[in-house]
Chains A and B, each alone.
Chain A
Amino acid sequence: SQQGEEDPQALSIQEGENATMNCSYKTSINNLQWYRQNSGRGLVHLILIRSNEREKHSGRLRVTLDTSKKSSSLLITASRAADTASYFCATDWGLNKLVFGAGTILRVKS
């Protein structure tokens, strides 16, 4: 499969806790992106990290990239019920298209 792999497949946490999702991929990339999908809706772009970057922040989101391990993690701090969604990583291999992972389903309980 060309897809990246994400783990866990599903994550359930209490409001206020941090959520960490991981993404692994198979080949060298230009950048890695994270998207969110609310149930039955389209995806929304969250953050992009380039291959020469190691960490990036956006609000309550923190993304790390380890190109030697071909992996990335998305941390959502102080989670809220509204963060309940599916989260996908997508990799740009330089082929003018993105390859999406299978996603992590996050449930934040209030």
Chain B
Amino acid sequence: DGGITQSPKYLFRKEGQNVTLSCEQNLNHDAMYWYRQDPGQGLRLIYYSQIVNDFQKGDIAEGYSVSREKKESFPLTVTSAQKNPTAFYLCASGQGVDEQFFGPGTRLTVL
């Protein structure tokens, strides 16, 4: 997990709340990614950013938002529009797509 951090490790959200997951990297990577992982399943891409101040929707962007104001940071907001947000969220970074480096993940639970 070295070089890329996520916080918090566990997060609890009440119905109707927005919550923000933090992702920071010190690897000087241009590209950053957010994935969602449901139990027993693979990773699905939420949003990705190849450069500061630019980002693209992934396969399941509805109910999520991101920003990329700094190269090191790519926070993900889970909005109240996301009806089933309980999942494990993984952030990754990379220089190109030949290798992605993952953070330790944030487990989000809706109460």
Contact = CB atoms under 8 A, between A and B. Distances in A.
Interface in A35-52: 35, 40-45, 48
B99 A96 contact: no
Contacts of B44: 100
B102 A92 contact: no
A48 B45 CA distance: 20
Contacts of B97: 92, 96-98
Contacts of A45: 99-101
Determine chain B's interface SS by DSSP, over half rule.
strand
A92 B59 CA distance: 15
A96 B1 CA distance: 22
Contacts of B41: 102-103
Interface residues of B, number: 27
A3 interface: yes
A41 B105 contact: yes
A52 to B, nearest CB: 14
A29 to B, nearest CB: 11
B104 A31 contact: no
Interface in B79-111: 88, 90, 92, 97-105, 107
B99 A103 contact: no
Nearest to A91: B97
Interface in B11-33: 31, 33
8 A-B pairs closest in CB distance: A42-B102, A102-B42, A100-B43, A100-B42, A43-B102, A45-B99, A92-B97, A42-B104
11 contacts: A42-B1, A42-B4, A42-B102, A43-B102, A44-B102, A45-B99, A92-B97, A96-B97, A98-B45, A98-B100, A100-B43
Interface of B: 1, 4, 31, 33, 35, 41-45, 48, 50, 58-59, 88, 90, 92, 97-105, 107
